[in-house]
Amino acid sequence: KKFIGRVMAEIYNVQPKIGYLLLYFLKVWAREEEKREGLASNVSGEVKAAVYKDFCGEREKKLETCLLTDLK
């Protein structure tokens, strides 16, 4: 998980849109899981949130700042 965050942060230096794309991927993944399993899973949601938090941590920014930047 930390390794992925670090790799994504390095990619972010070259392509800043990667933050938005990661958020989009995590959202679509959650919807597909809900369709497949029939319910929203809090555990998988926490894992997905942790991936994005690690990504922000590797960028050395607060979560709120990352979200605002990536959703622009």
Taking the CA of residue 65 as centre, how many other CA atoms within 13 Å lie in the half-sphere pointing to its CB?
7
pLDDT given at position 43: 60
Residue 1 pLDDT more than 80?
no
3-state secondary structure 16-54: CCHHHHHHHHHHHHHHHHHHHHCCCCHHHHHHHHHHHHH
pLDDT given at position 69: 92
* pLDDT tens-digit readout, 11-50: 999 999 999 999 999 888 878 877 777 666 666 677 788 8
Residue length of the chain? 72
